Structure 1
Amino acid sequence: MVLLPLALTALLSFQRFNHETGVQPGYTLVAYAQVLGDEYYWQVFARTGWVALLTTLICVIVGAPEAYILSRMRAPWRSIFLLVILAPLLVSVVVRAFGWSLVLGPAGFVNQFLEWVGIGRTRLLYTPIAVVVALVHVMLPFMVIPVWTSLQKLDPWVENAALSLGASPFTTWRRVVLPQVTPGLVSGALIVFALSASALAIPGLLGGRRLKMVATLIYDEYLHELNWPLGAAIAFALLVVNLAVMLGFNAVLEGRYRRRMG
């Protein structure tokens, strides 16, 4: 179910295409040459990469402390706040994107607040800022849950032992807690990065037609231009880049984790 669609997509990316007759029999590297040789596609991939990376970084900064606080809560507050964290997953991504378009729009709450404090209205919708904000809202549960799961395996008495030996709370968190939740951080970061880099609905609705991301570019090639080989080539290139970033990131952090934990 996973390998067969990927194989068919890879096969499609090598097929010939004619704008008058569509996909033609025979195989060629024209689609990949177009992707690698056109600066426009490099710009779209670079934009997608830094948006996904910024989203991942913000989710780590916000999600890790949030998971730590959640793990130290007692019942029933833990269950209540866990439900609050997971509640956005019960709402469609399209609905959440439209909600953020209302909040960040010209007459939205954010612009009204900026006008009230004297800064004045600013253009937020159809910018990378809007895409990053909405992606963080959507992806945050995928960061909190893996870190929270790792924290469940951590004995609170280990922290108490560090505190009793004179370590400050920050040193305890940095030297005792953080190394043991690194696998959860790595898992959450990889999930958030992969989902952000391949997101379609939020960049399409909040980024608009001018702010192209790789997923919206693939959508246009498949359904608007009907150039399926080029769309498949871009999709396969996104898969390769995603795998390279994820495997490299995982190898670096896992290596540090093994050396630190012995």
Structure 2
Amino acid sequence: MATHDIERPGATPWLLSIPALLLFVGLLLVPLILTLMLSFRVFSDTEGIEAAYTLNNYLEVVTDPYYGAIFLRTAGLAFAVTAASILLGVPETIILARMRRPWQSLALLVVLGPLLISVVVRTLGWQILLGNNGVVNSILQALHITDRPVRLVFTMTGMVLALTHVLVPFMVMSVWTTMQRLDPQVEWAGRSLGGSPIKIFRRVIFPQILPGVLSGSIIVFALSASAFATPALIGGRRLKVVATAAYDEFLGTLNWPLGASIAVLLLIANVAIVMGCSRLAEHRFKHIFH
């Protein structure tokens, strides 16, 4: 009886994790494995997907300059959105953390409120704002900054603006979580020692919120690199990203193996970049704090 009582608590966590494990395997792992298997299948214009396997799908994506340009464009878009989210999200979170209630709760609701609205709806709103007859161009012409409408839709600038608006709340949430653990007495001590606000931020506040900035950057980068709706609506057919290219192969040319290989390469590149940046940041953390 004693042995049974000792072994039973050890098995309980495993039993409790079975439902989540089955959900993970069924909804994520199995589709990824099927997509990986599909990416090696042979495709024929006349026969469709054949039973044979090949590496030509990956070779076509890797060697074709057309797909190379799409991957580079996607990487540039992801890095630009991540940088813009840091520049906007970090100061915004610091201001929110210093506000008093109930204004703090109202401001936080305004910042996170867009997450309650569909990404498609928000992107359509940006399409209207950035159009030739939209609000942005109307203001620019009314202020005599430009004489003619500035093309913002179907441009990289428009995609960066729209995606930054969509993803900056994730940066705010990550930095906000880190700032809740900060001790305000450390900042007060820096002020009592004569430190300027910029110096206190650079040497006291920013090193402590850096983990939150890193986690937010990883989330924003991963989501922007794999985004589909916003680049499809704002970028259009001229500025394809990897997600829209895979979509076109699946539903346009019906070349599912090629579309699957594009999706797999996107996943591999995304994971490699995120893990590389995380390792680099951990290495820098050791130098900063030790």
TM range (shorter): over 0.9
Question: Is 1:126 matched up with 2:154?
Answer: yes
Question: Is 1:135 matched up with 2:163?
Answer: yes
- Secondary structure at 1:154 match in 2: coil
- Secondary structure at 1:75 match in 2: coil
Which 10-residue stretch deviates more, 111-120 or 94-103?
111-120
Q: Which amino acid aligns with 1:39?
A: P
**Of 26, 31, 36, which residue of structure 1 is paired with 2:57?**
31
CA contact (8 A) 1:60 1:185 kept: yes
The CA distance in 2 between the partners of 1:81 and 1:6, in whole Å, is: 39
- Secondary structure at 2:43 match in 1: strand
% same residue: 50
Aligned residue pair count = 262
1:210 aligns with 238
2:32 aligns with 6
TM-score when scaled to structure 1? 0.98
**Of 189, 195, 200, which residue of structure 2 is paired with 1:161?**
189
TM-score when scaled to structure 2? 0.89
Give the unaligned 5+ runs of structure 1.
none
Q: Which amino acid aligns with 2:92?
A: E
The CA distance in 1 between the partners of 2:154 and 2:96, in whole Å, is: 34
The CA distance in 2 between the partners of 1:170 and 1:111, in whole Å, is: 36
By how many angstroms is 1:75 displaced?
1.2
Question: Is 1:114 matched up with 2:140?
Answer: yes
Which 10-residue stretch deviates more, 73-82 or 153-162?
73-82
Which 10-residue stretch deviates more, 108-117 or 36-45?
108-117
**Of 254, 263, 268, which residue of structure 2 is paired with 1:226?**
254
CA contact (8 A) 1:183 1:254 kept: no
By how many angstroms is 1:117 displaced?
2.4
1:40 aligns with 66
CA contact (8 A) 1:204 1:216 kept: yes
- Secondary structure at 1:20 match in 2: coil
- Secondary structure at 1:16 match in 2: strand
The CA distance in 2 between the partners of 1:50 and 1:109, in whole Å, is: 27
The CA distance in 2 between the partners of 1:71 and 1:214, in whole Å, is: 37
- Secondary structure at 1:189 match in 2: helix
Q: Deviations over 1:56-105 (max 9, x none)?
A: 00100110011111111121111111111111001111111111111111
Give the unaligned 5+ runs of structure 2.
1-23
The CA distance in 2 between the partners of 1:98 and 1:152, in whole Å, is: 34
Q: CA RMSD in A?
A: 0.9
The CA distance in 2 between the partners of 1:167 and 1:242, in whole Å, is: 40
1:94 aligns with 120
- Secondary structure at 2:52 match in 1: strand
2:12 aligns with none
- Secondary structure at 2:253 match in 1: coil
- Secondary structure at 2:49 match in 1: strand
Q: Deviations over 1:41-64 (max 9, x none)?
A: 000000010011000001001100
Choose 1 or 2 for highest CA Rg: 2
Q: Which amino acid aligns with 2:281?
A: L
CA contact (8 A) 1:147 1:188 kept: yes
The answer to which structure, 1 or 2, has the higher relative contact order (CA under 8 A, 6+ apart) is 1
By how many angstroms is 1:259 displaced?
2.5
**Of 85, 94, 105, which residue of structure 2 is paired with 1:68?**
94
Q: Which amino acid aligns with 1:132?
A: V
The CA distance in 2 between the partners of 1:177 and 1:4, in whole Å, is: 43
- Secondary structure at 1:181 match in 2: helix
Give 4+ residue runs of structure 1 displaced > 4 Å after superposition. Answer: none
